Amino acid sequence: MRTAAYDTWRAVTGAQLVLPEAGVYEVVADVQAGQIMVGSVNNAYMQTRLFDVTAGAVVPLTVRTVLFLSATPSDGVTHTIQATASAAALYRVAGPATIRVEGLKHVDSGTTTDEAMWAQNFRFKKISD
């Protein structure tokens, strides 16, 4: 996430899977994110979502805020935050579909010096045909 522009969704490295056939799946991604800020920063957050690459669409209702820091008022002080969130959905596909985890970083004012996002336990289970 370090080189991604603010407010731009970006694929999380290594967090992609293929739903093998038509059906309804439970898709779950446990996502961790970390952010480092130096000095005064307002409304810094990182979000995640599941994205259906095959359909070119966001998996509905999967946007999650992984971390949020409303303000760091101390100039010259380094602030580090890390958090975890799960994005999950029951999702119907008409055939094989590639699903990936995406991340976004945002800051209202100030600057972050480093961000990272990774997915653990990105998995699926077929629920029905």
CA–CA gap between residue 101 and residue 104 (Å, rounded): 11
Task: Identify which of 45, 47, 44, 54 has the alpha carbon closest to the alpha carbon of residue 29.
Answer: 47
From the centroid of its chain, how far is CA 89?
A: 14
CA–CA gap between residue 86 and residue 117 (Å, rounded): 13
CA–CA gap between residue 7 and residue 9 (Å, rounded): 7
Task: Read off the pLDDT band of 31 (50, 70, 90).
Answer: very high
Evaluate whether 65 touches 44 at the Cβ level (below 8 Å).
no
Q: What is the pTM of this model?
A: 0.91
pLDDT value at 75 more than 80: no
